[in-house]
Amino acid sequence: MTVQSRSPERLVHVPLGDRAYDILIGPGLLARAGGEITSRLKGRKAAIITDEHVAPLYLEALMDGLQTDGIEAVSLTLPAGEKTKSFDHLATVCDMVLAARIERNDAVIALGGGVIGDLAGFAAGIVRRGVRFVQIPTSLLSQVDSSVGGKTGVNSRHGKNLLGVFHQPDLVLADTSILDTLSPREFRAGYAEVAKYGLIDNPAFFEWLEKNWQKVFEGGPERIEAIAVSCQSKADVVVEDEREMGRRALLNLGHTFGHALEAATQYDSKRLVHGEGVAIGMVLAHEFSARLNLASPDDAKRVEEHLKAVGLPTKMSDIPGELPGADVLLDAIMQDKKVKGGKLTFILTRGIGQSFVADDVPSSEVLSFLKEKLAK
């Protein structure tokens, strides 16, 4: 006879006053979504937004579970991929949510990765100037990052995530068993954001990851632990700085370079997905910090080695196809939203787990750094 061990499920609470919410992390949450929602929200209607990869795998189970708990749900399945995060798709989602007569206490449910979460969250934030919002993140990246914190948005031809609102979810259900169907490449991309939390301000976590990353990939308690630590880190930052006036910018470690690379590859996921851009961007941020004599080059090497070990790209030349010149990349960086009055804001670091916001980085330094890196 085996003794059932205590449930491995974890709960991270995000204490944001009247916008406070829970993040549940563990296996089998999808089937229980109805109960978790009805115990927290008043409405009994839901509009599920999902994508064509996730729908065949999990939509029916979710719909069934919701119905059991008396929630009337309709669904919309969109194409998968970053291109779906567009203003046109936002219009489609809003129209569907309104057609479903979702009222303020009813919910929009995002069932998918960060693309679906960002898009559906934006719609939930603007339909009737805000309806309830439940995140059921299905990619590792969305479980540890995009589903927490209330940033929503779509891309514009001028750049990534340039349109959006802050709209906190009312509940996040991170079902860790759902990740088993994620492609290894997407799992690795999400892992870049997990490593990011270590690099920002938690060197012990980075060290733990260097030792345990294989178990995180395999599943089991280490995966749940890594996701819970990540969510807790993100929640801490968000609570301190909900609207990104200061500290929250740290979460952009690796993202300034990463977004520029995503733009330079036209958001073509065959060439580069977000987390891969972040992986390369984090290595670049450490190298750039070393070049500015802020950190030791050894730290940059250590970051590169770990990310390489898990199978992530770590340099610009790892991206298949041609890249544009340094000036085009710099221009993309300047249009990114971390520019204040023309000056460049960057997340730099003094070493592993010692990143900080620098808001006076000369663009000439960035340009010559990029030129050097591209020449290699």
| Residue 244 binds ligand NAD, judged by CB under 6 A | no
- Applying CB under 6 A, does 115 fall inside the site for ligand NAD? yes
When asked if residue 81 is in the footprint of its own copies (CB under 8 A), the reply is no
Contact between 74 and its own copies by CB under 8 A: the answer reads no
**Sign of the CA dihedral running 123, 281, 243, 158:** negative
**Residue nearer to its own copies on the CB measure, 13 or 243:** 243
Rounded least distance, CB 2 to ligand NAD, Å: 29
**In Å, how far are 11, 25, 201 from 171, measured between CA atoms?**
11, 11, 26
337 lies in the binding site for its own copies (CB under 8 A) = yes
Per CB under 6 A, 209 contacts ligand NAD: no
Residue 207 vs 268, nearer CB to ligand NAD: 268
Of 156, 177, 296, 363, the residue at the interface with its own copies (CB under 8 A) is 156
User: Stretches 30-38, 64-72, 144-152, 295-303: which one binds ligand NAD (CB under 6 A)?
Assistant: 144-152
Q: Which stretch binds ligand NAD (CB under 6 A): 16-24, 138-146, 241-249, 331-339?
A: 138-146
Q: Among 125, 149, 277, 281, indicate the residue that binds ligand NAD (CB under 6 A).
A: 149
Which is closer to its own copies, CB of 94 or CB of 374? 94
The answer to whether 232 touches 149, Cβ cutoff 8 Å, is: no
The residue within the footprint of its own copies, chosen from 11, 20, 91, 204 (CB under 8 A), is: 91
Which range binds ligand NAD by CB under 6 A, 13-21, 110-118, 237-245, 314-322? 110-118
Q: Which residues pair with 31 in a beta bridge?
A: none
Provide CB contacts within 8 A for 199, sequence distance 6+: 206, 253, 254, 282, 286, 303, 349, 352, 353, 355
- Cα dihedral 117, 122, 127, 132, rounded to 10, equals 50
Site size for ligand NAD (CB under 6 A): 32
| β-pair type (45-51, 355-361) | unpaired
d(Cα 334, Cα 330) in Å, to the nearest integer? 6
Contacts of residue 137, defined as CB under 8 A and 6 or more positions apart, other chains included, come to 110, 112, 113, 114, 117, 143, 146, 147, 172, 173, 174
Q: Which residues belong to the active site?
A: 129, 151, 193, 234, 244, 248, 252, 255, 259, 274
The only residue of 68, 105, 181, 317 in contact with its own copies, by rule CB under 8 A = 105
Told to check if 289 binds ligand NAD by CB under 6 A, we report no
Contact present, 50 and 109 (Cβ < 8 Å): no
Q: Select the residue interacting with ligand NAD from 189, 279, 282, 352 (CB under 6 A).
A: 189
Buried b (16+ CB within 10 A) or exposed e, 291-304: beebbeeebbebbb
Q: How far apart are CA 108 and CA 49, in angstroms?
A: 7
The answer to the question of whether 255 is labelled as a binding residue is yes
Which residues of the shown chain bind its own copies in the complex (CB under 8 A)? 42-43, 87, 91, 94-95, 98-99, 101, 103-105, 125-130, 151, 153, 156-159, 162-166, 243-244, 335, 337, 339-341
